[in-house]
A and B are shown apart, each in its own frame.
Chain A
Amino acid sequence: MNTARLLFSRPWIWSFAATTVVWVVTVVFTGGASSLGLSQAALTFAAFSVIVGIGQMFVITLGPGNIDLSVPATMTLSGTLALKLMDVQDSMIAVGLLLSILLGLAVGIGNYVLIKLLRIPPIIATLSMSFIIQSTAIWANRGLRIKPPDILASFTTSNLFGIPNIAIVALVLSAVAWVLLEKTIYGRWISAIGQSTFAARMTGIPVDGTRLATYVLCAVLASICGYLLASFSGGAALNMGAEYLLMSIAVVVIGGTAVAGGNSNIPGIWGASLFMFLVVSMLNTYGFGAGFRLILTGLIIIAVILVAGGRQSNR
């Protein structure tokens, strides 16, 4: 009884359990040869999902209707512009990162301006914003593929004590996000807004200020992720963000964050990100194609929402 309660009160345990199962199955299937390589790859690719997932989680915590669909376009534009600005010079690495962060700020503010001033629902506002951003990226990119500065490229692709550097970055960001969520007033505020915006307003929470900060945070994280991903993969591509639209939402949901808002979960994002990568690589080793993988991803998300919904009504 107590164990069951512990399990249900910590939904992220499920995603980690699933991850372990998939890992073991894949390793057994490949005869154990790939366990280290698989783990490192999983950590690296999960790290990108984690970084955008955290931002998306903050937005989803704001309650029903809040979502940021401009994540993939922001990643693309950030990667494109940063690499262009840095122009393979190692001295420009910090400037490129700064540009990414500023871009994220601008996108976040732009999103909330659309949502608030023009009263467009977030799903449409961020989608149209993403159209603008993506078009800017196409215009800025013009088919050029600029390599990242050497130091940055080697940083993003190497390991520290066997752990990929990208994963360490994501871990640090997760720790900061966790403190923000669990320990600060801001964390309380977004949770309160997610449970009841009206009640939050009537307890004196600056609702609009908090929501703006959250959309900005999400866009900045997406920008940083785009910067890292472009550096990691040796250059920005116009479709580099595409798969992160679904991924950023999926890892939030699978990780045990309440889709209805008010309740969020950072460890779960790690579990879910690792799980999603491992499922993909498992299906790859079995020789399934991309179409089947996507179908399965969709089914997993639906199953998790069903299970999570049932859990809430049982309380």
Chain B
Amino acid sequence: MNEVTARREVVAARGIKVTFGAVKALDGADLVIHAGECVGLVGHNGAGKSTIVNVINGGLAPHAGEVHYGGNGGQHGISAARASGVRCVFQELSLCPNLTVNENARIMHAELAGWNWRVRALALVERQLQDIFPGHGIDCDSTIDDLSIAERQMVEIAISFAGLRDKPKLVILDEPTSSLDAGLAAQLMAYIRRFVGEGGSVLLISHILGEILSTSDRIVVMKDGRVVADRAASAFSTRSLVEAMGNVVREQEWLRSTDKRGGEPVLSMPPRRGQGLAFQAHRGEMIGLAGLGGHGQTEMLLDLYLSRNSNWWPARRKEIAFVAGDRGLNGTFPLWSILKNLSIASLGELSSRSLVDRGQEGMLGDGWKKRIEIRTPDMENRILSLSGGNQQKVLFARALVTTARIVLMDDPMRGVDVGTKQEVYDILRAEAASGRTFIWYSTEMDEIRLCDRVYVFREGAIVAELAGDEISEKNVLEASFSGGEAA
């Protein structure tokens, strides 16, 4: 290719701002992709990678800034993006599981219409699969349900790269290798280089830095909704990439109490699926579960909780409590008042002969209303009348009211404002000092730094244990990204 085509813009997003409520997902991000290049996009969770992908593929309208496809702007939306040859392979697999492979191809490629489209779709997908993953062995007549996760991902990638009349101009791959093994990933990376060499463009998002470094021409690093670095791939090394992603390490450390790892652990678990490190928690410890979101932290909390909690008999003494992060999923009881939501986990202590003592319950509610400042005129109001942050406080109180000595927290500070966070941190510190053990999954580095000890998760297993001064953003990041070995 010559210099002129290389300069031609396929997509240009400039000065994009997107806010979700109070959260700034994108804060003036620029991303320009030229024809014939592979751009690697990296950044920590919540840096805005997925948001900018959604802006580019038209699924999300920016609140400020402009998106141009192939130089001509004005139009925006999913159909405009598709018309300009932008295709997207999502992190969450987006095939219809009840349809066959060729029927799924028909959904993506509307031009596969008319008589005999199945045969043509089948040929199209098979040719493309053979092209990207030679020797794949996928039966394209089977329904998606019957395929393994890796095969589904391969099919989705193939469908996105396939083109009947015109080839796609830009393919966005969001974590394309997350379920592919090393061999398949290498095939995909080789194909990306060929595709780029023929003049197509690829936006590659991956947490495996080795792939990014070896495949991309240019690497864009995002942090807090902004692009913080945009350089040729050759200018980066694994180390400098990690450093570019991280915060400038803030020297704001909490006074950690002395090592509490003496004596018997109050809670322990063997390595998950036989991989990685074992888990142990001791009395009075504050343990952080770190790593990228969705790498098995929540599953481990659920397992810890359910393994210590009978589904058939009421527990005589509660020994473990859980604070939900996804309130709507496993936290609040929407039909109930604030008070009932608060007291549900500790009814045993509030009742005699299994009759609930409303007077005691009310006193408990008033006490905690003052203590954690639940902003409501009346605890009998419905829980949904509270703001998200205040609902979260109620869920915290629900766990703290119990006699449980161990409290599990599933990233509970999502969507909670700074003031509330500080209030809750203070309560947690006081409770830990009095001997409670906290196991805290958090995606926020500031919270991980509050912990005495941190387990870092990757792909469902604990890959590192950090204690005391070892807990720094750099160490956590390094452990949560696999290095160059995967590609």
A residues near B, CB below 8 A?
A: 179, 183-186, 188, 191-192, 195-196, 198-209, 212, 258, 262-263
- From B331, B335, B345, contact of A204 by CB (8 A): B345
C-alpha gap A168/B228 in the complex (Å): 77
C-alpha gap A209/B315 in the complex (Å): 11
B:306-351 near A, CB below 8 Å: 306, 309-315, 318, 320-322, 324, 329-336, 340, 344-345, 347-348, 351
A196 touches B330 (CB 8 A): yes
B324 touches A202 (CB 8 A): yes
B residues near A, CB below 8 A?
A: 302, 305-306, 309-315, 318, 320-322, 324, 329-336, 340, 344-345, 347-348, 351, 354-356, 398, 402
A204 touches B315 (CB 8 A): yes
Chain A residues with CB under 8 Å of B332's CB are: 196, 199
Known contacts A183-B356, A188-B356, A191-B336; A202/B322 CB under 8 A: yes
B356 touches A195 (CB 8 A): no
User: Max chain B CB contacts within 10 Å: which of A185, A205, A258?
Assistant: A185
B336 touches A203 (CB 8 A): no
12 A–B pairs (Cβ distance < 8 Å), ordered by A: A183-B355, A184-B355, A185-B351, A185-B356, A188-B344, A199-B330, A202-B331, A204-B315, A206-B310, A206-B313, A209-B311, A262-B335
- From B311, B320, B348, contact of A208 by CB (8 A): B311
Chain A residues with CB under 8 Å of B309's CB are: 204
CB distance from A302 to the nearest CB of B (A): 23
CB distance from B308 to the nearest CB of A (A): 10
Chain A residues with CB under 8 Å of B334's CB are: 195-196
B333 touches A192 (CB 8 A): yes
C-alpha gap A263/B340 in the complex (Å): 13
A192 touches B344 (CB 8 A): yes
C-alpha gap A262/B341 in the complex (Å): 13
C-alpha gap A207/B330 in the complex (Å): 14
Chain A residues with CB under 8 Å of B345's CB are: 203-204
Interface pairs A-B: 5 shortest CB-CB: A198-B330, A209-B312, A195-B333, A203-B345, A208-B311
Chain B residues with CB under 8 Å of A191's CB are: 333, 335-336
CB distance from A129 to the nearest CB of B (A): 21
CB distance from A202 to the nearest CB of B (A): 5
C-alpha gap A205/B330 in the complex (Å): 12
Chain A residues with CB under 8 Å of B340's CB are: 188
Mostly helix, strand, loop or mixed at chain A's interface?
Answer: helix
A185 touches B347 (CB 8 A): yes
Chain A residues with CB under 8 Å of B347's CB are: 185, 188
Inter-chain pairs besides A199-B330, A204-B309, A206-B312, 18 sampled, C-beta below 8 Å: A179-B355, A185-B348, A185-B351, A188-B347, A191-B336, A195-B336, A196-B329, A196-B333, A198-B329, A199-B331, A199-B333, A201-B311, A202-B331, A203-B345, A203-B398, A206-B311, A206-B313, A209-B311
C-alpha gap A206/B355 in the complex (Å): 17
A185 touches B313 (CB 8 A): no
- From B305, B312, B314, contact of A202 by CB (8 A): B305
C-alpha gap A202/B404 in the complex (Å): 13
Chain A residues with CB under 8 Å of B333's CB are: 191-192, 195-196, 199-200, 262
A203 touches B314 (CB 8 A): no
Q: Which residue of A lies closest to B348 (CB)?
A: A185
C-alpha gap A263/B314 in the complex (Å): 22
Q: Which residue of A lies closest to B302 (CB)?
A: A202
Chain A residues with CB under 8 Å of B324's CB are: 199, 202
Q: Which residue of A lies closest to B321 (CB)?
A: A204
CB distance from B391 to the nearest CB of A (A): 12
C-alpha gap A188/B350 in the complex (Å): 13
A186 touches B354 (CB 8 A): yes
Q: Which residue of B lies closest to A212 (CB)?
A: B312
Chain B residues with CB under 8 Å of A188's CB are: 340, 344, 347, 356
Chain A residues with CB under 8 Å of B330's CB are: 196, 198-199, 201-202
C-alpha gap A289/B321 in the complex (Å): 59
Known contacts A192-B344, A195-B333, A196-B333; A201/B306 CB under 8 A: yes
A185 touches B354 (CB 8 A): yes
Q: Which residue of A lies closest to B327 (CB)?
A: A199
Chain B residues with CB under 8 Å of A179's CB are: 355
Chain B residues with CB under 8 Å of A186's CB are: 354
